[in-house]
């Protein structure tokens, strides 16, 4: 999505195909499943285009106006909450179809999902569990700057130093994040195997899946790692505020133009 406005339009316009391809890569649909899964995805995309995109445009307009002034970490946290709210709207809309899919999965499809998770975890370890603390800090900072430059354009050395300090102030424990990933994956696999074995009602399946998504937002190991996750969100919000506040008027105008592209895309796609 961050490749540019035209890429957003292209990706969303083909969202049904992309979503099907992504899910199929994890599950490998049977011939019987393919027609109704494609129909369900098409219906979800149609609902999303008609009911959600104009709301996104209004929200992005508010962000666009806000970044022209000093941004506070509390405002960033508010944007996170707004994002979560919008994600849950989509989840709730899709729950009947997701429940139907979960109830129709075959043992070999759940096994394929488990293997896919294992492959993803190997890739994560290769990228994030290598090097010493300085290497990991630098790797994380480079990812931050890639996003920062997309939105604001190039930063000078002094600006980058301030963003680097805010980036390094965030807690860093990639081993904990790796364990959190695995907990999230194992919980989903546990739910799917329970559904397969017990064949509960669709209402019960929907409740299990919704609770799973909500727990994913809160982090599965939050109870025992509360301080880490709380500090992570607080310091990440502070970092994003620093990024916006060190920007020059020209850089803020660059960000406003980027956001306008997204806003225009939302209106254009909603009208189709």
Tokens of 24: 């199929």
Tokens 């790796």 label which residue?
Answer: 178
Q: CB within 8 A of 198, min separation 6: which ones?
A: none
Gap between the Cα atoms of 50 and 45, Å rounded:
9
Note whether 66 and 44 are within 8 A (CB): no
Measured CA to CA, the distance from residue 155 to residue 60 in angstroms comes to 23
Structurally, the chain folds into a number of domains equal to 1
Residue 16 · residue 233 · CB < 8 Å: no
Full residue range of the structural domain in which residue 125 is found: 5-271
User: Of 55, 42, 47, which is closest to residue 16 (Cα–Cα)?
Assistant: 42
Q: Determine the Cα–Cα distance for residues 178 and 184; give it in Å rounded to an integer.
A: 10
**pTM metric for this prediction:** 0.91
Phi, psi dihedral angles at 225 (to 5 degrees)? -130, 35
Q: What is the pLDDT of residue 7?
A: 59
How many Cα neighbours within 13 Å face the side chain of 156?
6
Q: Is 263 exposed, middle or buried (0-12, 13-18, 19+ CB in 10 A)?
A: buried
- Helix, strand, coil tally for the chain in percent (to 5): 85, 0, 15
Per-residue pLDDT of the chain (272 residues; tens, 9 = 90+): 444 455 567 778 788 898 999 999 999 999 999 999 999 999 999 999 999 999 999 999 999 999 999 999 999 999 999 999 999 999 999 999 999 999 999 999 999 999 999 999 999 999 999 999 999 999 999 999 999 999 999 999 999 999 999 999 999 999 999 999 999 999 999 999 999 999 999 999 999 999 999 999 989 999 999 999 999 999 999 999 999 999 999 999 999 999 999 999 999 999 87
Q: Whole-angstrom Cα distance, residue 137 to residue 151? A: 21
- The continuous run of DSSP H or E covering 31 comes out as none
Separation between Cα atoms, residue 163 and residue 112, nearest integer Å: 41
DSSP string, 175-244: HHHHHHHHHHHHHHHHHHHHHHHH---HHHHHHHHHHHHHHHHH-TTTTTSHHHHHHHHHHHHHHHHHHH
Residue (of 242, 266, 244) closest to 255 by Cα position: 244
Q: Which residues in the chain belong to E strands, given as ranges?
A: none
Q: Which is it for the CA torsion 26, 31, 32, 38, positive or negative? A: positive
């Amino acid at each position: 999505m961050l490749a540019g406005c035209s890429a957003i339009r292209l990706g969303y316009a083909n969202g049904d195909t992309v979503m099907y391809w992504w899910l199929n890569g994890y599950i490998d649909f049977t011939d019987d499943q393919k027609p109704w899964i494609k129909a369900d995805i098409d219906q979800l995309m149609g609902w999303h285009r008609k009911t959600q995109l104009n709301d996104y445009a209004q929200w992005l307009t508010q962000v666009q106006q806000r970044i022209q002034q000093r941004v506070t970490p509390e405002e960033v946290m508010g944007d996170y909450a707004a994002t979560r709210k919008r994600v849950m709207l989509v989840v709730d809309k899709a729950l009947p179809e997701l429940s139907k899919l979960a109830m129709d999965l075959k043992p070999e499809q759940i096994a394929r999902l488990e293997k896919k998770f294992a492959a993803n975890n190997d890739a994560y370890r290769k990228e994030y569990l290598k090097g010493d603390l300085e290497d990991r800090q630098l790797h994380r900072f480079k990812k931050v700057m890639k996003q920062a430059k997309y939105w604001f354009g190039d930063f000078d050395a002094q600006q980058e130093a301030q963003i680097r300090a805010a980036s390094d102030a965030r807690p860093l424990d990639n081993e904990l994040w790796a364990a959190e990933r695995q907990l999230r994956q194992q919980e989903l696999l546990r739910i799917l195997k329970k559904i397969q074995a017990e064949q509960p009602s669709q209402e019960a399946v929907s409740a299990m899946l919704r609770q799973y998504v909500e727990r994913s937002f809160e982090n599965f190991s939050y109870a025992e790692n509360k301080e880490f996750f709380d500090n992570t969100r607080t310091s990440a919000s502070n970092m994003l505020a620093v990024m916006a506040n060190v920007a020059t008027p020209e850089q803020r105008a660059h960000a406003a133009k980027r956001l306008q592209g997204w806003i225009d895309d939302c209106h254009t796609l909603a009208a189709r």
